[in-house]
């Protein structure tokens, strides 16, 4: 029972933290995030998703770790990025949520950490 509760807590804690803004660069050889470079052959596919009110680009990797790269799209044209990335990676319009993502969404909707703003 303690193991299950601790796993639920960890998944909720990890899912409730919004993504950090990183400096990244996309080139014809791959993607550089901070000081780590990923070649196109190391990447699997990509899709867009809105998380915590922020539009994000998620790129899945061939290797188990990191598994997925999450890039926030603040002032970037989504259509231009889509046309550029489809030259190198397959685009997925829909990706089935994992068990952990489903549980994190359920926990965040049923047990919100932030208090709701009161309407005046």
Question: 104 to each of 1, 8, 67, how far by Cα in Å?
Answer: 18, 8, 18
φ, ψ of residue 52 to 5 degrees: the values are 60, 35
- Residue 119: the pLDDT is 53
Residue 117 lies in a domain: no
Residue 49 belongs to domain spanning = 2-110
115 pLDDT band, cuts 50/70/90, is low
Structural domain count of the chain: 1
Residue 57 lies in a domain: yes
Give 17-56 pLDDT, tens digit per residue.
Answer: 776 667 889 999 999 998 999 999 999 999 999 877 788 9
User: Percentage of residues in the chain with pLDDT exceeding 90?
Assistant: 42
Residue 120 lies in a domain: no
Q: The whole model's pTM is what? A: 0.70
Does residue 109 surpass a pLDDT of 80? yes
Residue 17 belongs to a domain with what CATH number?
2.30.29
């Amino acid at each position: 029972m303690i193991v299950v509760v601790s796993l639920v807590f960890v998944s909720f804690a990890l899912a409730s933290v919004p993504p950090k803004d990183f400096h990244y660069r996309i080139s014809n050889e791959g993607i550089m995030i901070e000081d780590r470079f990923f070649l196109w052959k190391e990447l699997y596919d990509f899709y867009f998703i809105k998380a915590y009110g922020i539009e994000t680009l998620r790129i899945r990797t061939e290797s188990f770790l990191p598994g997925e790269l999450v890039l926030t799209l603040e002032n970037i044209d989504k259509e231009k990025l889509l046309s550029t990335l489809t030259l190198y990676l397959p685009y997925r319009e829909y990706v089935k949520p994992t068990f952990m993502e489903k549980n994190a969404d359920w926990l965040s909707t049923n047990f919100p950490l932030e208090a709701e703003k009161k309407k005046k």
